[in-house]
Amino acid sequence: MTVPTIPLNSGHDIPQLGYGVFLVKPEETERLVGEALEIGYRHIDTAARYYNEEGVGRAIAASGIPRDELFITTKLANDDQGYQTALDAARASLDKLQLDYVDLYLVHWPAPARGMYVESWRACEHLLAEGLARSIGVSNFMPEHLQRLFDEGSVVPAVNQLELHPLHQQPQAVSYSRDHGIQIEAWGPIGQGKYDLAGLEPVADAASRLGATPAQVVLAWHLARERIVFPKSTRRQRMEENFAALDVRLTESELAAIDALESGRRLGNDPMVFSD
């Protein structure tokens, strides 16, 4: 199965489907990322705060896959925000990942109470200029946070990684980002297992028409809506099932019915306040 790519404003392409490792235990990460690479995933999404970058690095090293066939993202932790602290943190992440560069480096949260996301962004711009990150972006940035980067920074983020699933689609943050050429990555794409996808009628209907699983239908919806996704599972069968969502095609009316499920139900932290 070929994974489609999406062009970023940095000039690089990102594979639209990847494997995320939030809450993957450090001691299981090397094995699970190794399995993901065997299945065909080439895009891995980690973060300093997942405490599993070493395992990701070991799996990459053991895989023998050429570096230019992989797309590796990591993120700056909130308590490393600042200019020099961010540069130091990025270098520490690269060491743990055993890499010379990451494909994408993200500011994990705006963390507004810390008041340092603009300085952190300038550090990201420096990492980009030095070649330590091929693309730079943000996560959980609302329009007012992006606006400050546009006003005070010099590089437009390549992506905004947002909580995004059928019940929480963040239409304003998405359209504001897209209007500025920023691609959307959906975190928690299948609702983090916190609600029953099969209980959503349009998802269940499409799943039964296609002989697909509810998770595959929701992932196919993201892909059709040109979002980047990296669902997480620690079970190989589900990792394969999620990868096979690439072959699931929904009709425009099925897509629209899932769009209409938007209800503002956030599952994670509120980006307007979360600063831990």
Q: Any idea which residues carry the catalytic annotation?
A: 50
The correct pick among 55, 57, 82, 189 for binding ligand NAD (CB under 6 A) is 189
Closest to ligand NAD by CB, 181 vs 193, is 193
The correct pick among 71, 141, 230, 243 for binding ligand NAD (CB under 6 A) is 230
- Candidates 56, 57, 53, 20; CA nearest to 243 is 20
Q: Measured between alpha carbons, how far is residue 83 from residues 47, 134, 138 in Å?
A: 18, 19, 15
233 binds ligand NAD (CB under 6 A): yes
Binding-residue pattern over the window 64 to 103 for ligand NAD, x denoting contact by CB under 6 A: ----------------------------------------
Residue with tokens 């007012």: 144
55 binds ligand NAD (CB under 6 A): no
169 binds ligand NAD (CB under 6 A): no
- Burial pattern 121-153, b for ≥16 Cβ within 10 A else e, equals bbbbebbbeeebbbbbbbbbbbeebbeebeeeb
Which one of the spans 115-123, 149-157, 220-228, 230-238 is the region binding ligand NAD (CB under 6 A)? 230-238
Q: Radius of gyration of the chain from Cα atoms?
A: 18
The correct pick among 191, 221, 243, 250 for binding ligand NAD (CB under 6 A) is 191
Cβ contact 255:27 at 8 Å:
no
Identify residue 9 by its one-letter amino acid code: N
Which one of the spans 1-9, 15-23, 95-103, 146-154 is the region binding ligand NAD (CB under 6 A)? 15-23
Q: What separation, in Å, do the N-terminal and C-terminal C-alpha atoms of the chain show?
A: 40
271 binds ligand NAD (CB under 6 A): no
* Helix/strand/coil for 39: helix
The correct pick among 232, 243, 246, 248 for binding ligand NAD (CB under 6 A) is 232
CA dihedral 219, 48, 110, 155 (to 10 degrees): -80
Structure-block tokens of residue 51 = 């405490």
Closest to ligand NAD by CB, 129 vs 272, is 272
Give contact residues for ligand NAD (rule: CB under 6 A). Answer: 20-22, 45, 108, 139-140, 161, 187-193, 213, 215, 230-233, 238, 241-242, 268
